[in-house]
Amino acid sequence: MENYRQSSQRQLLLKLISEVNGHIDAKELYRRANAQGNSVSTATVYRSLNLFKELGIVDERSLGQRHYCYEVSGKLDHCHVVCQGCGKIVEFETPLVNQLVEAAQREHGFNITKTELYLKGYCPWCERERELSLRH
Ligand SMILES: [Zn+2]
Ligand SMILES: [Zn+2]
């Protein structure tokens, strides 16, 4: 039987993930969980993320990065832009994703349960840095 401490830590982690309104990686989640005066171990963070993933509450995304980030699941209709410079991820909603899902379902009879779409490039800040360094 699981104890109260475990389940309350899991609730805290889930709350933090839903609060970011976007994506968070395990390291940042660990930092935020412990910034609030709690002591949540890295093992608990990873175990909880795995559990959330299994339960389908949270989506794990790699988005072409070397590490995973997490977001509350259930949002099929969005796309990501990922900065190659600083790793920042911005998501935006577009009806195109839904159209793509519908086309795949219609043409191939699949029930699409997950989309992972991302575009890579440089954010305005990194792009400016790049321009500056190219000029010198
Ligand atoms: Zn950037
Ligand atoms: Zn997303």
Q: What is the pLDDT along the chain (136 residues), one digit of tens a residue?
A: 457 778 899 999 999 999 987 889 999 999 999 997 889 999 999 999 999 999 989 999 888 888 899 998 877 678 899 999 998 888 888 888 889 999 999 999 999 888 888 999 999 999 999 999 887 6
64 shares a domain with 84: no
Taking the C-alpha atoms of residue 135 and residue 125, their distance in angstroms, rounded to an integer, is: 16
Counted domains in the chain: 2
Sheet holding 69-72, edge to edge: 24-25, 69-72, 58-61
Region of 21 on the Ramachandran plot (φ > 0 left; ψ -120 to 50 alpha; else beta): left
End residue of a domain, out of 38, 53, 73: 73
Q: How far is the CA of 92 from the centre of ligand 1 (A)?
A: 16
Q: Which residue has the tokens 């299994």?
A: 54
- Cα 101 to ligand 2 centroid, rounded to whole Å: 16
Whole-structure pTM value: 0.77
Separation of 4 CA from ligand 2 center, angstroms?
Answer: 31
Which residue, among 5, 87, 84, has the nearest Cα to 39 in the 3D structure? 5
CATH number at residue 101: 3.30.1490.190
For residue 9, the CA-to-ligand 2 centroid distance in Å is 24
Closest ligand (CA of 81): 2
Query: What's the CATH number where 47 sits?
Result: 1.10.10.10
Q: How far away, in angstroms, is 134 Cα from ligand 1 center?
A: 16
Which residues, other chains included, contact 27 with Cβ-Cβ below 8 Å and sequence gap of 6+?
67
Q: How remote is the CA of residue 96 from the centroid of ligand 2, in Å? A: 15
According to the model, what pLDDT value does residue 76 have? 67
Last residue of a domain, one of 28, 52, 73: 73
**What is the 121 CA–ligand 1 centroid distance (Å)?**
8
